[in-house]
Amino acid sequence: MRKIPMRKCVVTQEQFPKNELLRVVMTPEGTVEIDESGRKNGRGAYLSKTIEAVELAKKNRALDRALKTKIDDEIFEELMNYVQ
């Protein structure tokens, strides 16, 4: 039986299997993107696939701290569209 990789949501601090979370990555070029494959290069942060988690991440700047950069509102809009 294969081991299932676990990751922690930056908002709720709960651990989930990696495939149940959404990865947001800051690429080496400095752009912030949604990583659907989970394999892009750069600093990554995992987020629960719920509307509440995205709203909380925007409110308390959890993604800003995890990625060590300022996240634009358009990234949060993309996240909301992806989650819905």
Looking at residue 14, its pLDDT comes to 96
Phi, psi of 16 (to 5 degrees): -135, 160
Residue-wise pLDDT tens digits, 1-13: 899 999 999 999 9
Residue-wise pLDDT tens digits, 51-73: 999 999 999 999 999 999 999 99
Looking at residue 1, its pLDDT comes to 86
E strand map for 1-84: 6-8, 15-17, 21-26, 32-35, 43-48
Looking at residue 12, its pLDDT comes to 94
**Percent of the chain's residues with pLDDT above 90:** 98
Domains in the chain (CATH in brackets) are: 6-83 (3.30.1230.10)
